[in-house]
Structure 1
Amino acid sequence: MSEPESRLNERPSTAARLAATVPDGLAGRRFDQALAELFPDYSRSRLTAWIKAGAVRLDGEVVPPRQILRGGEAIELDVRMEREIGAQAEEIPLDIRYEDADVIVVNKPPGLVVHPGAGNPAGTLQNALLHHDPKLAEIPRGGIVHRLDKDTSGLMVVARTLRAHTALVEQLSERDVHRQYAAIVYGAMVAGGRVDAPIGRHPHDRLKQAVREDGREAITHYRVRERFRTMTLIECRLETGRTHQIRVHMAHVRHPLVGDAQYGGLLKLPKGATPELAAALRGFRRQALHAEKLEFAHPKSGKPVAVEAERPADMEALLAALRADTKENG
């Protein structure tokens, strides 16, 4: 058995037995549907998996998820949650922009990997979060409900309870989370627009995504914020959340992100660029993408939560060089 498999099998878990009675108002509903209403802390997919595994009983019997209820039945649910100890707590500084008992919104710096994995066993955002709140070890994926690429900066929301995690994942799947980004792209764009192009795994490079007919639906809205001589600062809003979506979509419309070697190719120095702009571009070693605004309904109160994060220093320095180059070259 390999070391990762051994570690996975040794993970302790939290266990509990929960009970409920099916109210008359749920008579005629399917077992899995009623369970989701009676135990909202857990996602529908997790509850369905527990039903199929025999961890949920109806009047003492194991029944299928589609069993129709009559009302008054007794439900017993054996909860068994693995602890997220694949990552160890590490004292890594966090830029927290919002925090309460249910959620944390953190401003991730560029260069910080979100989850431990091959090549990054430690020093990740998840390691830092586990140090900040050890109880996150009991939440799926350490409470992280969406991710940013290593070299993308900006806001991420983290759930601190099972109920918050379930609610936020549902908001994401229902497209109820507003995610707004700032990006610097090649080319002098004249207007905003909408990219509606499905995204899937690149046919030849497994590390990349690509626009492909058999991909998953992907929609990005963008508008021009500031035009420069050879580049443009744009605002992007995600309607869906596919891997590398903004990077793939902007390359697809022939305006790849500055610094994005994976989707934009080698560095392109504009003709006649000032020495300062040339130096700024050579020193910018990541995609120019920042998650600047995040809005969602609070998973407990339902009230709107809106958080913003200013662009990081490296993007501001590049923008200053672009403004000076545009002014000088008129």
Structure 2
Amino acid sequence: MLNENSVQATRERSRVALVTCDQIPELDTDDKLVVPALRERGIEAVPVVWDAPTVDWDSFALAVIRSPWDYVARREEFIAWAANVPRLANPADVVAWNTDKRYLRELAAAGVPVVPTIWVEPGEVWEPPPGGEFVVKQAVGAGSLDTGRYDLDRAEHRELAVAHVARLGLAGRLVMVQPYLAAIDTYGETALLFFPAEGDLAFSHAIRKGAMLTGPDEAVEGLYKEETIRPRTPLDAEIEIARKALAAVPGGADRLLYARVDLIPGPDDLPVLVELELTEPSLFLGTAGGAPERFAEAIVKRLS
């Protein structure tokens, strides 16, 4: 007969926290798809707000970061929270590394083809190039918020781009200026999803995202901008670049519960990395048959 401590230990081994924020306390619609898949495997998945003051994180067998999308303005607090969660996926050091897009510098140094980036430090004056289309965004950000597209051949866009960079700099934010890759208007952006299987990160599925940036930043309120999503079969070159990016993750990709690699064709039509999403990416589980089950299996294996 099990004693009370054994019953409690068994219960904790079968409870998983799906970490979110108080704007979507019941989880994003897509994330909800993994809940019944886990239930079928004897795992209770519970949505939990990351900064709720009374949560006993030690009572969960695993905390899986899913949609804490309000952390951007409170990144240091979020990193400190992650460091104090005893069993977190992805791990806290990955969270600290991946929530600042300076990681792109490290990946470029490791030979991963990355979108060329001009980095503008807070207080630094940015002199815009003479022409061309560019994207302005912040190094700590999510959901394409505080992001704008500017045609520097147009005088009004030049002024708006300079003002955008200055506004972010005054807020103490590191700014990224990148060329706008025209292929996103036709081919779109490819996001490749990976979950661990048989001891390694395995490709699960991919989606195509349409262009989201139509012009200067409009200071849209909310956690994210709506995206146009559909399934995609990735090219071999996209799979190759994705695996190269994952191989460069500090500490090794074998520690990851999930990974999303976002790519766009560059001027030579070869894929370049836009972002490596290891903290709170949408996983687009509803776009591919079996994806919720594959993610659930990855969680079960992590628990064991």
TM-score, length basis structure 1: 0.24
> Which has more helix, going by share of residues?
2
Q: TM-score, structure 2 length as denominator?
A: 0.26
